[in-house]
């Protein structure tokens, strides 16, 4: 029987690099057994070497041989892998006494299967094992002794046995960064969804579900999927500490995540349609269908025109290890906002070639959460990753949905850089100057006002010219120009001003640009703006 170096580390209860140290340090008659083929070792030779030299933290390494035999079988056969996964979930639900009960009162243990199988994910396989169940349970018990609990054992089994060796599971896996992004975004969206819970709408999202914090108190639902990947995903949930439910109806859940990695055009866009107006959907699929120029552009444009696609994000290549050159994309789908179509915006981001760092994941998750809200909240968001674009312009220009129209700003010539500021401050005798570091946001960009208007983040409002003298004095502030600077000392009567149908008031966070050029931020809003140089507003 052949085993990997990771298996050797598990037998010896050491970390994986320790095995490499043994292979280099011990030579001659004490040498560690050489690989038999492709970096794999003979299990019997390894166990004998560990026992003879007393290496590792396991004084009885031979007890692991039955488990290693089953792991070897599981890596070559999906059915055997599902048997082992089912017994592991059964052991986690039953408790530490499963092996004793199977020996002393097997009927009572078998009768408990249906009651313990809350997510209908392991009872069928456990019953089908028959007389083989006690032996399998004994091996699983030894496996749990090597890990730190059922959840950790299930994670190890998923990563090192299923995903690495079985193509069926490898095709459904995500990179650690992509899984973390989906989980973090889903939780952030759920926090703003009124506590209505999080649903795996695909039923096969073991990669991102395992990234949920163990202490998360919300409800976690999963749609029933009877494929091997779907049943194993429910076992991952059952061995965790979450409040979990297996459902057939997607309605009633605050956030639904659907990772449709291999779906065709029709299935992918069907999954994007909302079944519940109060639900937020996070759709993950191939970028060639969701945002690139290829795919069914007509069906995609129909959903954009409906206004339910709030955000489109293209992820970097490598998020799907089984297809490292294939790029994935995310859609944020929510009920259409109250804006008319000509003012409706879609938020886009192209992360091609960008590393999914923890800072970027956090910024993007918060951007997505705001993009799912109404326009009044979106207006005051300082976007870190997403960029607002008028939806009608996305539809008109065709091609990629995430193409960036802005160009990098030209680097201005400067006598010093930010890195030199602390040294300059020290020369001037200024103590306690803070250390500066580059922020996680994107670089500065230079765009024209026309490009800003075209992309939808800059708005040109036609105002009305109202004589100030006719408005009287009052407490409604007016921004005017005094001695070349923007000033807010003038006030007019509020009721008289608001009686005019086109008396536009500023909103919180509006930027007012004056001559010079100069600009101020009206933090609280609710003001009139004069049109210099005449005394009109």
Domain boundary pick from 366, 397, 428: 397
Report the chain (537 residues): mean pLDDT per 10 consecutive residues: 86 88 87 86 90 85 80 90 95 90 86 93 94 89 77 90 94 96 96 85 95 92 96 95 92 92 87 84 94 81 90 95 93 88 89 93 95 85 88 83 55 55 75 66 65 71 72 86 80 84 76 79 83 48
Q: What distance lies between CA 409 and its chain's CA centroid?
A: 30
Whether residues 300 and 391 share a domain: the answer is yes
Q: What is the pLDDT of residue 92?
A: 92
Residue of 447, 467, 465, 466 whose CA lies nearest to 457 = 447
Whether residues 369 and 481 share a domain: the answer is no
Q: What is the pLDDT of residue 444?
A: 59
Q: What is the pLDDT of residue 445?
A: 65
Q: What is the pLDDT of residue 421?
A: 75
Whether residues 294 and 189 share a domain: the answer is yes
How confident is the model over 494-529, as pLDDT tens digits? Answer: 888 888 766 778 877 788 888 776 788 887 788 888
The number of folded domains in the chain is 3
Is residue 458 domain-resident?
Answer: no
Whether residues 261 and 358 share a domain: the answer is yes
Is residue 209 domain-resident?
Answer: no
Is residue 413 domain-resident?
Answer: no
How confident is the model over 180-225, as pLDDT tens digits? Answer: 999 999 999 998 777 789 999 999 999 999 999 988 999 999 999 9
Is residue 224 domain-resident?
Answer: no
Is residue 474 domain-resident?
Answer: yes
How many whole angstroms separate alpha carbon 44 and alpha carbon 32?
Answer: 12
Phi, psi of 515 (to 5 degrees): -70, 160
Whether residues 391 and 487 share a domain: the answer is no
Whether residues 497 and 371 share a domain: the answer is no
Tokens of 160: 């090192």
Q: What is the pLDDT of residue 405?
A: 44
Whether residues 372 and 291 share a domain: the answer is yes
Residue listed under structure tokens 């040109």:
460
> Buried b / exposed e across 184-213, counting CB within 10 Å, b at 16+?
bbbbbbbeebeebbbbbbbbbbbbbbbbbe
Q: What is the pLDDT of residue 530?
A: 80
**H helix or E strand, kind and range, residue 234:** helix 228-238
How many whole angstroms separate alpha carbon 186 and alpha carbon 244?
Answer: 16
Whether residues 262 and 355 share a domain: the answer is yes
Q: What is the pLDDT of residue 534?
A: 40
Whether residues 190 and 324 share a domain: the answer is yes
Q: What is the pLDDT of residue 437?
A: 66
For residues 52 and 128, the answer to whether their CB atoms sit within 8 Å is: no
Residue 16 is part of which domain span? 2-59
Domain boundary pick from 59, 78, 103: 59
Is residue 238 domain-resident?
Answer: no
DSSP 352-421: TT----HHHHHHHHHHHHHHTS-HHHHTT---SS-EEEEHHHHHHH-S-TT----EEPPPPP-S--GGGH
Q: What is the pLDDT of residue 417?
A: 66
Is residue 329 domain-resident?
Answer: yes
How confident is the model over 34-88, as pLDDT tens digits? Answer: 888 888 888 889 999 998 888 888 888 887 787 788 888 888 999 999 999 999 9
Phi, psi of 466 (to 5 degrees): -120, 125
Is residue 509 domain-resident?
Answer: yes
Q: What is the pLDDT of residue 413?
A: 41
Q: What is the pLDDT of residue 129?
A: 92
Domain boundary pick from 11, 35, 59: 59
């Amino acid at each position: 029987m052949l085993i990997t170096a990771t298996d050797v580390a598990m037998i010896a209860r050491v970390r994986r690099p320790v095995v490499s140290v043994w292979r280099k340090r011990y030579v001659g008659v004490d040498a560690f057994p050489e690989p038999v083929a492709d970096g794999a070792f003979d299990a019997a030779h390894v166990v004998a070497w560990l026992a003879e030299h007393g290496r590792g933290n396991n004084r009885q390494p031979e007890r692991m041989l039955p488990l290693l035999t089953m792991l070897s079988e599981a890596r070559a056969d999906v059915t055997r892998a599902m048997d082992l996964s089912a017994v592991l979930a059964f052991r986690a639900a039953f408790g530490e006494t499963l092996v004793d009960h199977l020996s002393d009162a097997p009927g009572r243990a078998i009768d408990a299967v249906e009651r313990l199988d809350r997510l209908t994910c392991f009872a069928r396989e456990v019953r089908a094992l028959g007389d083989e169940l006690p032996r399998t349970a004994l091996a699983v018990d030894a496996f749990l002794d090597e890990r730190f609990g059922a959840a950790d054992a299930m994670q190890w089994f998923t990563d090192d046995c299923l995903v690495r060796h079985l193509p069926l599971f490898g095709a459904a896996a995500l990179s650690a960064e992509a899984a973390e992004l989906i989980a973090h975004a889903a939780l952030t969206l759920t926090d703003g969804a009124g506590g209505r819970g999080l649903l795996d709408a695909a039923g096969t999202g073991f990669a991102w579900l395992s990234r949920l914090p163990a202490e998360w108190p919300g409800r976690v639902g999963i749609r029933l999927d009877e494929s091997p990947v779907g049943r194993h995903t429910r076992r991952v949930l059952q061995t965790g500490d979450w409040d979990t439910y297996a459902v057939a109806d997607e309605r009633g859940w605050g956030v639904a995540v659907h990772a449709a990695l291999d779906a065709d055009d029709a299935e992918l866009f069907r999954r994007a349609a909302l079944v519940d107006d109060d639900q937020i959907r996070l759709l993950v699929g191939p970028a060639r269908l969701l945002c690139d120029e290829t795919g069914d552009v007509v069906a995609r444009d129909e959903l954009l025109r409906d206004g339910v696609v709030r955000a489109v994000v293209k992820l970097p290549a490598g998020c799907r290890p089984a297809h490292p050159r294939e790029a994935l994309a995310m859609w944020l789908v929510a009920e259409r906002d109250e804006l008319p179509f000509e003012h409706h915006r879609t938020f886009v981001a192209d992360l091609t070639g960008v590393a999914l760092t923890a800072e970027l994941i956090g910024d993007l998750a918060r951007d997505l959460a705001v993009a799912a809200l109404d326009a009044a909240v979106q207006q005051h968001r300082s976007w870190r990753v997403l960029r607002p674009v008028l939806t009608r312009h996305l539809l008109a220009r065709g091609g990629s949905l995430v193409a960036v129209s802005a160009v990098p700003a030209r680097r201005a010539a400067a006598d010093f850089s930010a890195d030199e500021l602390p040294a300059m401050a020290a020369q001037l005798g200024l103590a306690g100057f803070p250390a500066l570091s580059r922020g996680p946001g994107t670089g500065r960009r230079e765009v024209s006002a026309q490009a800003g208007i075209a992309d939808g983040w800059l708005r040109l409002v036609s105002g009305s010219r109202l004589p100030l003298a006719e408005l009287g004095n009052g407490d409604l502030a007016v921004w005017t120009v005094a001695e070349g600077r923007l000033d807010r000392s003038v006030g007019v009567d509020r009721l008289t001003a608001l009686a005019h149908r086109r008396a536009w008031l500023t909103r919180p966070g509006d930027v007012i640009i004056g001559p010079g050029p100069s600009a101020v931020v009206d933090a609280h809003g609710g003001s009139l703006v004069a049109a210099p140089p005449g005394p009109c507003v």
